[in-house]
Amino acid sequence: MSLSRSEVGIVGAGPTGALLAIFLQRLGMKVEIYERRSDPRKELSASGRSINLALADRGIHALARAGVIGDIIPAMLPLRGRLIHAPDGATSLQPYGQRPNEVIHAISRLRLNQTLLDVAVRRHGVQVHFEHPLEDADFTGAVAHIRDLRQNRVLGVPMHPLLLCDGAASPMRRLMSSRGLIDARETELDHGYKELTIPAGVDGRHRIAKDALHIWPRGNHMLIALPNEDGSFTATLFLPQRGAVSFQSLADANAIERFLSSSFPDVRALMPNCVAEFQNHPTGFLGTVYASPWHYRGMAGLVGDSAHAIVPFHGQGMNCCFEDCVEFAECVRRHSSWDALFAEFGTRRKPQTDAIAAMALENYLEMRERVADPCFQLQQALALELEKRHPQRFIPRYSMVMFHHEIPYLLAQQRGSIQTQLLAGLTAGAATLADVDFARAESEIKSRLAPIMQEQLSDRA
Amino acid sequence: MSLSRSEVGIVGAGPTGALLAIFLQRLGMKVEIYERRSDPRKELSASGRSINLALADRGIHALARAGVIGDIIPAMLPLRGRLIHAPDGATSLQPYGQRPNEVIHAISRLRLNQTLLDVAVRRHGVQVHFEHPLEDADFTGAVAHIRDLRQNRVLGVPMHPLLLCDGAASPMRRLMSSRGLIDARETELDHGYKELTIPAGVDGRHRIAKDALHIWPRGNHMLIALPNEDGSFTATLFLPQRGAVSFQSLADANAIERFLSSSFPDVRALMPNCVAEFQNHPTGFLGTVYASPWHYRGMAGLVGDSAHAIVPFHGQGMNCCFEDCVEFAECVRRHSSWDALFAEFGTRRKPQTDAIAAMALENYLEMRERVADPCFQLQQALALELEKRHPQRFIPRYSMVMFHHEIPYLLAQQRGSIQTQLLAGLTAGAATLADVDFARAESEIKSRLAPIMQEQLSDRA
């Protein structure tokens, strides 16, 4: 019996839940979503903080597969590279790639969520129940208890199955873990984050370049900024939670003012409200979620951040979740039982999400420190030059992750670690590209990189 | 035997030929393209005129299906509506739709072509032979004669088969028609066109709104302008070929200056070189191509403009050609002989391309005259209001064509003609929306529109 006529419940109407609902409804299923919050389509985009996300090739590919990319494109703001702000105010652009199509995009999380829900409901007939938080689950009777806040009653929703797209803090994952049905752990970084605002200029325009991701790298902390459609930027400060310079130590307005003015003098002038925002906005935690397995029998399956939330430093969180949806839909075609489907989804997907989780953690050091290092900059320039000379064999790791959805995360990680060794060896003692031995580069690429590509790619075929 | 291991020749490396090659190579075929021009990837975008095209939902959907939309997005400039310039210089924006995702996009034909070729060659291994014009064909021996201009020799290319993506003036269609293998006719409009330039401002920025398609409607002629990435606009003047005010009558610089200054005084000031451009740029012809059938046995098949070129007034030419590629790839999956595949492709596709050909012709009158008519404007406003009230049942025809790839052109045309009657009836004697009888509107929508939707959509299922 095929699963394609199933009735499926999804917990969570965020971007992942909405996109997964579209995929499943297109496969013939009848999907109902339960969401604890109220309908985001009724929110004004002006209200509250504006969170923006990075959308790259993997996310775009998933949206295209779901037939919704045309609806999302108008909300995308292209970013051509990292614009690095040195402490003395000097700026330099590090392009993400070397072709005009190698860009990433900033997108408003709210607008993306609104559009995906609109398409799910209006075009595909998905049913969404807002203000319906999950409270508990009975795994013997295969029934989830979901509260209808409007009527103040508890519904028994059969888990045949229930898909959990309820985010990094997934109540269901914690429930399953606490009852010993799965193993799960949440590892927290000792750095946190805080959102600040760079308002639009008086003419409504962006006050710094709007086609770049701005970074103020300062060693053990950094500020980044992504453009919004309304001319403003959402800036995010990443800082240790505790220690000499930390969220804990910056306890009053004077200390905050001194810190921001000395670390980021150029952008401080563009953030008139940053001290008050620092005091009033919550400090966010950064963490990685690991779980195994991602399901309990054919009843409950984790998809997206609930299964594998990662830190934001590679801009891949949402992209990785959207790739989950593509893989999940592929698995639907191959299985006739939910238990088997969940098992295969986890087996195929977890090595990949483990790889991006590790690369995202590594990227924090790169963003806050290495981008400002001349040695790193030479290696980056060499990587782009090697890609130019050997386009089939050498693609910088960042490009593999961001611009090549056809290269799995794990393969990008494996090739990347060999490439890092090659780049370090080739630039040892070199001051400029002219000092690099390109004949040696070519022979090492052939002997060390080519085999892993062939092997891994034929594994997938 | 499946066709998926076939070796296929394509004539024409324009956007349609390149996209079709990507689809077929992805299906497992081995594709070689023959193109009479030199490699467009070696052209500087600054050289020559910049032609820009309108990309809408159907084109986006096709690019998404081919896995290349991520490469194209950075070249897209969103247009939110028509900005109408009245003779007195007053402007008004007519939004294309009522949702933020209902936009169309301007895109440089050159950059689009370069990107599609780059993906075809680099990612999929398509072979392209530039400077290889088709000269003749031997339909008895099933061999096409293609000249290699670099070596100055003629190659015999087996037609097993040859796909003709060689545009509106397709040499192969004319050959097939002149030998009586197919019926084909080219009907020419009595209006022509001429491209002019609105350069960027001194600050490199666009001098008029860059997120709109600009129209100066003047009854029997009009000027339109689409933005380019470099801050300039490509403007196109549409004018009768002969008559009192026509390309023929505007024979010297004084007459041209008088005409442009009196018809378009506001934009004349922004086009310093328009008189010289008028004299030096060629006058383009506008026409529609009809052919039947679109193939000769399993040897030669027309795809895109070669089969059904249309006038540009609906901004659907490229979108329609890209939709051809999707349909063609679908047909590949269903057939084991090229003759049968070509026959089904034509049977399925021609009613659709006939419909958009007719709608594109109708749209010329709308753009050059009706957009300025208060009665038309009221009907447009009513159409949007009815869509708001009955989103599943009433979608303005323009929106069906531009934003709903899932609604076939023919169905859009059929529903559109009923809607036109409804709108005319409901606005007869009305001055504003407040005068419209919405209860009557609802009952007529139910009785007249609902049946055709059900019927047609179930036909497709």
Give the pLDDT confidence score for residue B368 in this predicted structure.
85
Inspect the interface and report whether the beta carbons of A70 and B64 lie closer than 8 Å: yes
Domain A189-285 has CATH 3.30.9.30: yes
CA distance A9 to chain B (A): 25
CA distance A59 to chain B (A): 9
Mean pLDDT estimate for chain A: 93
Give the pLDDT confidence score for residue B438 in this predicted structure.
95
B3-77+109-186+287-364 — its CATH code? Answer: 3.50.50.60
Inspect the interface and report whether the beta carbons of B67 and A72 lie closer than 8 Å: no
Inspect the interface and report whether the beta carbons of B75 and A111 lie closer than 8 Å: no
Chain B residues with CB-CB distance to A105 below 8 A: 73
Contact of A112 with A101, CB cutoff 8 Å: no
Give the pLDDT confidence score for residue B392 in this predicted structure.
80
pLDDT tens readout for residues A199-251: 999 999 999 999 999 999 999 999 999 999 899 999 999 999 999 999 999 99
Mean pLDDT estimate for chain B: 93
Inspect the interface and report whether the beta carbons of A65 and B60 lie closer than 8 Å: no
CA distance B57 to chain A (A): 6
pLDDT tens readout for residues A303-314: 999 999 999 999
Query: A105 — contact with chain B (CB < 8 Å)?
Result: yes
Mutate to test the interface with B, among A22, A26, A68, A69 (most CBs of B within 10 A): A69
| Burial of residue B401 (number of CB atoms within 10 Å: 0-12, 13-18, 19+) | buried
Three-state DSSP class for residue B35: coil
Helices (H), B335-403: 338-368, 374-389, 397-403
Q: Please give the share of chain A, as a percent, with pLDDT higher than 70.
A: 96
Inspect the interface and report whether the beta carbons of A78 and B74 lie closer than 8 Å: yes
Please report where in the chains the tokens 């015999």 appear, as a residue: B156
Chain A residue with CA closest to B402: the answer is: A70
Q: Please give the share of chain B, as a percent, with pLDDT higher than 90.
A: 84
A64, A74, A405: residue with CB nearest B103: A74
Give the pLDDT confidence score for residue B50 in this predicted structure.
65
Give the pLDDT confidence score for residue B389 in this predicted structure.
92
pLDDT tens readout for residues B341-359: 999 999 999 999 999 999 9
Give the pLDDT confidence score for residue B452 in this predicted structure.
77
Give the pLDDT confidence score for residue B331 in this predicted structure.
96
Contact of A311 with A288, CB cutoff 8 Å: yes
For residue A77, what pLDDT band results from cuts at 50, 70 and 90?
Answer: very high
Give the pLDDT confidence score for residue B137 in this predicted structure.
96
- For the four alpha carbons of B451, B453, B459 and B461, in that order, the dihedral sign comes to negative
Q: Hey, what are A75's tokens?
A: 């909300």
CA distance B429 to chain A (A): 34
pLDDT tens readout for residues B396-424: 999 999 999 999 999 999 999 999 999 99
Domain assignments of chain B as residue spans, ordered by start: 3-77+109-186+287-364, 189-285, 373-460
CA distance A289 to chain B (A): 29
Query: B415 — contact with chain A (CB < 8 Å)?
Result: no
User: Residues with Cβ < 8 Å from A138, sequence gap 6 or more?
Assistant: A144, A145
Distance CA A304, CA A313 (A): 17
Q: Hey, what are B287's tokens?
A: 């026409």
- Asked if domains B3-77+109-186+287-364 and B189-285 share a fold, the reply is no
- For the four alpha carbons of B72, B74, B80 and B83, in that order, the dihedral sign comes to negative
Chain B residues with CB-CB distance to A391 below 8 A: 122
User: Residues with Cβ < 8 Å from B287, sequence gap 6 or more?
Assistant: B168, B186, B187, B188, B189, B309, B311
Please state the ipTM of this predicted complex: 0.75
Mean pLDDT of A154-174: 96
Chain B residues with CB-CB distance to A394 below 8 A: none
Q: Please give the share of chain A, as a percent, with pLDDT higher than 90.
A: 84
Report, as ranges of residue numbers, the positions in chain B whose pLDDT lies below 70.
1, 44-50, 453-461
A3-86+108-186+287-364 — its CATH code? Answer: 3.50.50.60
